[in-house]
Amino acid sequence: MQNQFKTIESSRVRLRAFQSYDLDNFVHYRANPDVARYQSWENFTREQGVKFIEEMTKASFNSPGVYYQIAIESKETNELIGDCVMHPLKDDPTQVEIGFTLDPQFQGKGYAYEAVKRLVHSLFTDLSKHRITAITDVKNEPSIKLLERLGMRREGHFHQNIWFKGEWGSEYLYAILAEEWTRE
């Protein structure tokens, strides 16, 4: 039986499963070159969006080894403003990798922090995860600041460890343990 994602809310955002009506907003921000800059895709198309949403509607939440993308919705407008991902490790599902993407018109306003904070809290308190990690490009200052604001510690600096968009890239690894998490 498929694990279902249960909606989680904070004061301004709602984290929920992706729906077919998210397609236009999803493609709009994912096609933006500024959004794709530190992501694995380029020139995101409507066809990719359709395929992605179809996959997410069939995906099983909290399954070891499975990347599960979660919609970030504005509670004010009920529209998709971004997404985050959780990936329980295949060999140890008490450890989870997370990531996040936000529509540029909502960046710099605390929405990503609010959404990721709520996700991390739920992973630790509702799902009893032990450790949460995130990897970011060393040039991605907004993501670095968000992860550090969450109380995550930089555990690694990988120098030119990834061939990324035509050049060698470097990444930081961040992590936090359940026992270190003190936020609501």
Q: In the chain, what are the domain boundaries?
A: 8-180
| Predicted pLDDT of residue 1 | 37
40, pLDDT greater than 90: no
Residue 182 near residue 137, CB atoms below 8 Å? no
For a pLDDT cut of 70, what percent of the chain falls above it?
Answer: 97
Distance CA 149, CA 159 (A): 23
pLDDT band with cut points at 50, 70 and 90 for residue 164: confident
Separation of CA 74 from chain center:
16
CATH topology (fold) of 8-180: Aminopeptidase (3.40.630)
Separation of CA 82 from chain center:
9
Q: What is the mean pLDDT of residues 145-174?
A: 94
- How long a stretch of residues is the chain? 184
